[in-house]
């Protein structure tokens, strides 16, 4: 029997999914993909507990790359597929001139946080074995930013990995993380944080996720070597903007250089460019979207 909190979370999820579907359907139908990027679609990387795939985007005339972006879509952990980020991922491959794998994962509440991170590790390992990638750079938007950051931290620190029940060993390294309009603080008793664990364990339960999973601002400073860039905007969701600024401040206070974009809505040639939540995913061809792509590309290769 569902608890009252989980019943409320289910209702909130249903409303959110409906709104996102109404917004994304016309956007996706109108997208025009770059013509100078190849696509290898629906590459199966696991069939346990269910079949999951990723897409591979490669810029023309690029082969043998050891570097690879790992693109993780958002959707409050309950909505979306890799299709939502395809156009952005193809633009990213073209801008950075390295391949991008765009990963599907099991959505909550069918999966918890630990399962999803393990799935992303499996996708990276499959790509490493199949294509020879060994240096990964995570990119995520909204909930995907949380997943991109936690994946990077777990890949770089075995103690973090074990605390979040990630036992898939990565065949390579994660060297950078680009976090777009992310929400890095979540209440474990409210949606969507309540879905991070399949059940609400007691404080003494060994399965209980550590507090830092619900407040990534508090753990980021433990890894000053990870190259992090942050993107937000003037019309971002209030909690996402607040969390992004808080993470930026925490990292900078720890002595970490943080490439940062705070995109501002504007009008160019009579076209209104409203920089709302995950604006660069929806509009990678806008000047502000191009700037986001350039920032991510520069972050992955900086020393």
Render pLDDT for 102-134 as a digit per residue (tens, 0 to 9): 999 999 999 999 999 999 999 999 999 999 999
Whether 298 shows a pLDDT value over 90: the answer reads yes
The predicted model gives 38-55 an average pLDDT of 95
CA–CA distance, 129 with 152 (Å, rounded to integer): 19
Mean pLDDT, range 277-293, rounded to an integer = 97
**The two structure tokens encoding residue 201:** 């364990």
Statement: residue 96 has pLDDT above 90: yes
pLDDT of residue 2: 73
Query: What is the chain's mean pLDDT, rounded?
Result: 95
Reported as a pLDDT band with limits 50, 70 and 90, residue 227 is very high
Burial of 43 (0-12, 13-18, 19+ CB in 10 A): middle
For residues 133-147, give the mean pLDDT: 98
The full set of domain ranges for the chain reads 4-301
Distance between the two ends of the chain, CA-based, in angstroms? Answer: 52
Rounded Cα gap, residues 268 and 287, in angstroms: 9
A 10 A CB-CB count for 290 gives 15
List the Cα angle 221/251/89 in 5-degree steps: 100
Average pLDDT over residues 195-202: 84
What's residue 206's pLDDT?
Answer: 66
pLDDT at 203 over 90: no
- CATH superfamily ID and name for 4-301: Alpha/Beta hydrolase fold, catalytic domain (3.40.50.1820)
pTM: predicted TM-score of the whole model, two decimal places: 0.96
Tell whether the model's pLDDT for residue 272 goes beyond 70: yes
Q: Is the pLDDT of residue 61 over 70?
A: yes
Q: What is the rounded CA–CA span in Å between residue 137 and residue 100?
A: 9
Q: In the prediction, which pLDDT does 91 show?
A: 98
Give the pLDDT band (50/70/90) at residue 202. confident
Total residues belonging to the chain: 303
- Whether the pLDDT of residue 1 is over 90: the answer is no
Residues 59-72 have a mean pLDDT of: 94
Please report the pLDDT score of residue 33 as a whole number.
Answer: 97
- 48-57, 67-76, 194-203, 286-295: which has the minimum mean pLDDT? 194-203
Query: Where are the extended beta strands (E) located within 204-247?
Result: 227-233
Burial (CB < 10 A; 0-12, 13-18, 19+), residue 165, is: middle
Q: Which of 3-12, 46-55, 200-209 has the lowest mean pLDDT?
A: 200-209
């Amino acid at each position: 029997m569902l608890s009252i909190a989980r019943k409320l979370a289910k209702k909130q999820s249903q409303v959110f999914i409906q709104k996102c579907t109404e917004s994304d359907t016309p956007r996706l139908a109108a997208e025009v993909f770059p013509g100078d990027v190849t696509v290898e679609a629906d590459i199966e990387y696991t069939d346990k507990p269910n079949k999951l795939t990723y897409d591979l985007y490669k810029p023309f005339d690029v082969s043998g790359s050891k570097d690879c972006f790992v693109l993780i879509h958002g959707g409050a952990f309950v909505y979306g597929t890799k299709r939502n980020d395809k156009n952005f991922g193809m633009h990213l491959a073209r801008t950075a001139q390295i391949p991008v794998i765009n990963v599907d994962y099991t959505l909550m509440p069918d999966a918890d946080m630990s399962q999803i991170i393990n799935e992303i590790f499996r996708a990276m390992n499959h790509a490493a074995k199949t294509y020879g990638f060994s240096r990964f750079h995570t990119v995520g938007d909204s909930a995907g930013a949380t997943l991109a950051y936690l994946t990077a931290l777990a890949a770089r620190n075995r103690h973090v990995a074990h605390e979040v029940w990630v036992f898939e060993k990565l065949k390579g390294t994660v060297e950078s993380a680009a976090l777009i309009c992310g929400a890095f603080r979540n209440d474990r008793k409210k949606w969507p944080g309540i879905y991070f664990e399949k059940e609400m364990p007691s404080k003494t339960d060994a399965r209980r996720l550590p507090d830092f999973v619900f407040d990534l601002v508090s753990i980021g400073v433990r890894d000053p070597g990870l190259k992090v860039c942050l993107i937000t905007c003037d019309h971002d969701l209030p909690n996402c903007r607040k969390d992004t600024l808080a993470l930026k401040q925490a990292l900078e206070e720890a002595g970490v250089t943080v490439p940062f974009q705070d995109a501002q809505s504007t009008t160019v040639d009579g076209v209104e460019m409203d920089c709302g939540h995950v604006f660069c995913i929806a509009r990678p061809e806008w000047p502000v979207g191009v700037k986001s792509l350039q920032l991510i590309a520069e972050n992955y290769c900086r020393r």
